[in-house]
Amino acid sequence: MLILHYTGMTSAEAALDRLCDPAAKVSAHYAIEEDGRVWRLVPEEARAWHAGVSFWRGERDVNGLSIGIELVNPGHEFGYRPFPEPQMTALEGLTRAILARHPIPARNVLGHSDVAPARKLDPGELFDWQRLARAGIGLWPDDLPQADTIAETGDDIAGVQIALARFGYEAVVTGVLDDATRCAVSAFQRHFRPDLVDGTPDAGTRRRLAALLAGTDRKQVG
């Protein structure tokens, strides 16, 4: 897996200090500043401590199975702002190189919020996943199914939960829109439908989920 984060601190210096402080017990393989400077902090073959309690496609040891990249950004707590062009360009280059070295399926290119929806928001709805997908990195739901194939109002919460779980999220099929499901839906929206993140599995959300599942089944990308 490749897991993207934001640092969520007031300055790049503070974030890098923390990532290099053994007492903080947090680390990532790379950090990228807003001006595009890339720091290699942990060798790729070593385990870094960036994901915490996480889940994706049946795996809970996300730290042991992933490369983590921290993008310098104050985050939702300290003045969330767009990721600037030099930072995105550097990320694209770094990610391309990582994907050339490791067989990471497109559907395992994720945000921290995808693997820990109840705890994390990063890298957040301002992160341009669509751009990355256009560059061949990760997925984006382009081929949406016909609107009339997806019910406008969904009582089928179990169906949404099954689809979320099939795609990779930790979703338990309870048939009710509980807090855990709202968190998973929000995480999905934050990544794949960032203009409306409200935790409601509306038709637009379900169409995107169906498109991604159809695409991953068709391409068998892992």
Active site residues: 70
In the complex with Zn ion, the residue whose CB is nearer, 5 or 193, is 5
What distance separates the 2 farthest-apart alpha carbons in the chain?
Answer: 54
Count of residues near Zn ion by CB under 5 A: 3
The contacts of residue 54 (CB under 8 Å, 6+ apart) are 60, 62, 63, 112, 115, 116
CB 72 within 8 Å of CB 8: no
Task: Choose, by CB under 5 A, the member of 114, 122, 125, 170 that binds Zn ion.
Answer: 122
C-beta of 2: minimal distance to Zn ion in Å? 13
Tell me the window of 2-10, 78-86, 175-183, 213-221 that interacts with Zn ion (CB under 5 A). Answer: 2-10
The H-or-E segment that residue 110 falls in is strand 109-111
Query: Is 5 among the residues that bind Zn ion (CB under 5 A)?
Result: yes
Tell me the window of 17-25, 28-36, 104-112, 189-197 that interacts with Zn ion (CB under 5 A). Answer: 104-112
C-beta of 50: minimal distance to Zn ion in Å? 6
d(CA 127, CA 144): 21
d(CA 128, CA 114): 15
Q: Give the pairing type, strands 30-32 and 2-6.
A: unpaired
C-beta of 78: minimal distance to Zn ion in Å? 14
Tally of residues, the chain: 222
The contacts of residue 187 (CB under 8 Å, 6+ apart) are 111, 113, 114, 117, 169
In the complex with Zn ion, the residue whose CB is nearer, 27 or 205, is 27
In the complex with Zn ion, the residue whose CB is nearer, 68 or 141, is 68
Query: Is 29 among the residues that bind Zn ion (CB under 5 A)?
Result: no
Query: Is 33 among the residues that bind Zn ion (CB under 5 A)?
Result: no
Task: Choose, by CB under 5 A, the member of 29, 107, 112, 191 that binds Zn ion.
Answer: 112
Site residues for Zn ion per CB under 5 A: 5, 112, 122
